[in-house]
Amino acid sequence: MYDEVEQTLSIERKSAAGAIDREIILHGHPRPLTLELMEFLRCVEDRQPPLSDGRDALKVIELIETAMASDAA
């Protein structure tokens, strides 16, 4: 979740009991390429898959195209 007023980027996780845990992962306005590089390095160091991949990007593109088509109608 991005908070424009606080200029923070956070992740919210909801437990099975319903409690919400919020973790602030970035403060300020980092450059998008810097964020992408930081995520890539994290994946390499931790040997973990990225937070989002090409499949996620495709879903976003499809959602945008659907919204644009709906708006044009």
5-46 residue pLDDT tens: 777 888 888 888 889 988 888 777 777 888 888 899 999 999
pLDDT number for residue 55: 94
pLDDT number for residue 28: 76
What's phi and psi for 14, nearest 5 deg?
A: -110, 125
Where along the chain do its domains lie? 2-72
In the predicted model, is pLDDT for residue 60 greater than 80?
yes
The pTM of this model reads 0.44
